[in-house]
Amino acid sequence: MLSFYSSSTRMVNTRRGITECIEAALGEQYADCSLMIVHASVGHNFTELVAQAKELAPQATVLAASCCGVVGVEGVSESMKDIALMAIKGDEFAVAHTNNLYGHNAYEKTLAMAQSLYQANPQVSIIYFLASGIDIANDLCIAAIEAVFGAHVTIFGATSSDNMKGVFSYQAVNEEVMEHGAFMVGFADPTLEVDTQATHGFVAFGEPFTVTKAKGNQIIELDGKPAWQTFTERLGLPETATCADTIPIGALAEALPPNLAKEYGNGHILRVVTSREGNTMHYATSITEGTQLWLTTRDEEKIFSEMDRMVLDMQARANGRKPVAVFHADCLARGRFLFNRVLKEELVSRMQTPFYNNGTCPPWLGMYGFGEFARLGGINTYHNYTTALYALYRKG
């Protein structure tokens, strides 16, 4: 049976920071830790971080990803020097990873990774997936995992980020530090199940763009004109603008069918553009010609009200149970980093408190990244600009 422990810190020195996290989470009993999942802001050196973690717990598999801030049992922090840890004891899991994962090879690379995970442990029933947040067809990653494990296996996780620049992000598996890699953890503990849900607080407006030329996850033309030029012109930005300039104001929305809109609390699912080549925009999922895309604006009141509704829905499904651990992915565009408008401490408090058990927050690992994986309509789905919660419960 797997057991979970977590902690977080804001520490300038990388080695001291991960040491503090390990000791805070596990006390002196860290030598027998089996798995460490670490989220760290890009101000940290990931080679040093992993090396120090391995020195303290040589038998542990250490996985790490960059982010734009963390959420842990200690609360929320969005600095350049954040570290958050989920430590796991037990052996009912398997790990697989890959490097050089991009939009054009997302299916093939993820399929090989999923096959490796299945060979390591065919009893896997829950998968935590973490990939680079830049230029990946995330829907194809989901399809590849389901081709091996079936659609009944719940996929949750995130895509890593930098400090909102969209230049690079890090993923690490033990001593291997990557910029365009991915890893997955397959949980095979038969006593565990996971409940996932995501929500955003953005509202679509105006007339939509129409995708008139696309290839894979690349949008080449919008409304019959070069995509990036058309996109930035509508945003009131120069064509020389960077992806970082567009992320705060350029969330793109695809319409949802009524049944999914009701569950989601919103008529649209959002997408972010984190990279481009010339006038070609790299979308977060595959995109087909004819798709309509709306611009959006974020609604602070809706961010809070829909998050509250999501937590109430999750509580109702838990039927009185309290989670043994919570994983959490939040879009950096919902944080203080961009606008300093959302009261993050209040939002996180309202998010975490309902999951408390006798006044204590469960082990909690959250990150601010570029995207989130959570079910929608019972289907594994990739999201952008959301808060996504993944609560692990004991069955029964």
**Whole-prediction pTM value?**
0.95
pLDDT of residue 335: 59
Question: Are residues 130 and 341 in contact, defined by beta-carbon separation less than 8 angstroms?
Answer: no
Q: What is the pLDDT of residue 333?
A: 72
For residue 13, the model assigns a pLDDT of 94
44 secondary structure, DSSP code: S
DSSP reduced 3-state for 280: strand
CB burial of residue 186 (10 Å; 0-12, 13-18, 19+): buried
pLDDT block averages, 10 residues each, the chain of length 396: 96 94 96 96 93 96 95 87 96 98 97 98 98 95 98 97 83 96 98 97 95 97 98 96 90 96 94 94 97 92 91 96 97 60 71 94 96 97 96 94
Predicted confidence at residue 248, as pLDDT, reads: 83
pLDDT score for 343: 59
CA torsion 374-71-91-3 (nearest 10°) is -110
**pLDDT for res 240:** 95
Ramachandran area for residue 165 (φ above 0: left; ψ -120 to 50: alpha; else beta): alpha
What's the pLDDT score for residue 244? Answer: 87
The reported pLDDT for the residue numbered 340 is: 46
Residue 79 confidence (pLDDT)? 80
Q: What is the pLDDT of residue 147?
A: 98
**80 - beta bridge partners?**
none
Contact 112, 291 (CB under 8 A): no
